[in-house]
Amino acid sequence: MMLADLGASVIKVERPGVGDETRSWGPPYDDRGEATYFQAVNRNKRSIVLDLKDPADQAQARALAERADVLVENFRPGLLDDFGLGYDALRAANPGLVYCSITGFGRRAGADLPGYDLLVQALGGLMSITGAADAEPQKVGVALVDILAGLFATTGILAALRHRDRGGEGQRVELNLLSALLGGLVNQASSYTIADVVPARMGNAHPSISPYELYATADGHLVLAVGNDRQFAALCDVLGAGELARDPHFDTNPHRVEHRHALREQLEPRLRERPADEWAERLRRARVPAGMVNDIGQAVALASELGLEPVVEIAREAGGNVRLVRNPIALSATPASYRTAPPTLPNERQQVEW
């Protein structure tokens, strides 16, 4: 969908009768009974149904691939080779093809392992660092590994197309969910690879910055994301506790991290004296990163208030509109476009004109 938003003509190949599995992943559904999950990632695509076990449909899929700039597939490694749609076969017919394969655990020893986001969050360590220290491991509230893999794949595809622009040569782009997650663990991973420190769950606290977590106020919670000593001094001034910024236990970030529990004991009683929205406004004026915990509706409303225009409406062919979150990339010359709503599943096979 990212590539489609940026102008690519995308044909989505689905199974006859049932289509993409996410079409049935609900509730919630829209007013037409269609799963909102599917619609989240399928705008600007055209859908066709092909049975890749059928020789005629195989031939049609191959004809499409032989004309395409990019092919993206997430089958079990080796399966498309059986259908004449593997990388080597298509490269011979279309040397400029960028062939992107997304798997769960790669094409080697993990080739037969099923790749589902929750499973990879567990096996890849993300759940071990998510949640309260004294509670069970938690998954992230969205399919983050799938999203990371898609974004990494998009970057790889664009790099491969840039290479092809220079010499006409296509190539294989490979992503697997486990590697995408490890790449997305950034500082948590480098704690282990460099310092041999295995990170653990810390709730909302940050292993390397303080105060950088959730605090109770008089009527709810407030996030403080203090990233430097100036911000900490400003926080202390707003709280009427300027002496904390000069305390040798708290005067630098390393000291605040070392004494994070003592710092919390100093900050939270003061924060409980006023409501969260009042603190958020006072801290904003002092240029201290702070804010309340919004639900998704409130988050969309905030983006609207800030002029970010977070939602786009796309007309359906059968009438009515579907509302989806805007592509976050803003380009001055070639902005994202929203040409077609997520496709309905075709009732029958059809010849593709492209």
**Domains of the chain by start residue, with CATH:** 2-186+313-325 (3.40.50.10540), 212-293 (3.30.1540.10)
Q: Look at residue 32 in the predicted model and tell me its pLDDT.
A: 85
Q: Flag whether pLDDT at 299 surpasses 90.
A: yes
Under the banding of pLDDT at 50, 70 and 90, the label for residue 351 is low
Q: Flag whether pLDDT at 309 surpasses 80.
A: yes
Residue positions annotated with a catalytic role: 146
**Within 10 Å of residue 72's Cβ, how many Cβ atoms?**
19
Query: Encoding tokens for residue 162?
Result: 């840039």
The 10s digit of each residue's pLDDT in 44-98 is 999 999 999 999 999 999 999 999 999 999 999 999 999 999 999 999 999 999 9
Give the closest residue to 80 by CA, choosing from 143, 197, 9, 172: 172
Under the banding of pLDDT at 50, 70 and 90, the label for residue 353 is low
Under the banding of pLDDT at 50, 70 and 90, the label for residue 37 is very high
Under the banding of pLDDT at 50, 70 and 90, the label for residue 354 is low
Give the closest residue to 210 by CA, choosing from 175, 246, 249: 249
Phi, psi (rounded to 5 degrees) for 223: -95, 130
The 10s digit of each residue's pLDDT in 238-260 is 999 999 999 999 999 999 999 99
Under the banding of pLDDT at 50, 70 and 90, the label for residue 230 is very high
Q: Look at residue 31 in the predicted model and tell me its pLDDT.
A: 86
Q: Flag whether pLDDT at 227 surpasses 80.
A: yes
Q: Burial, 8: exposed, middle or buried (Cβ in 10 Å; 0-12, 13-18, 19+)?
A: middle
Q: Flag whether pLDDT at 348 surpasses 90.
A: no
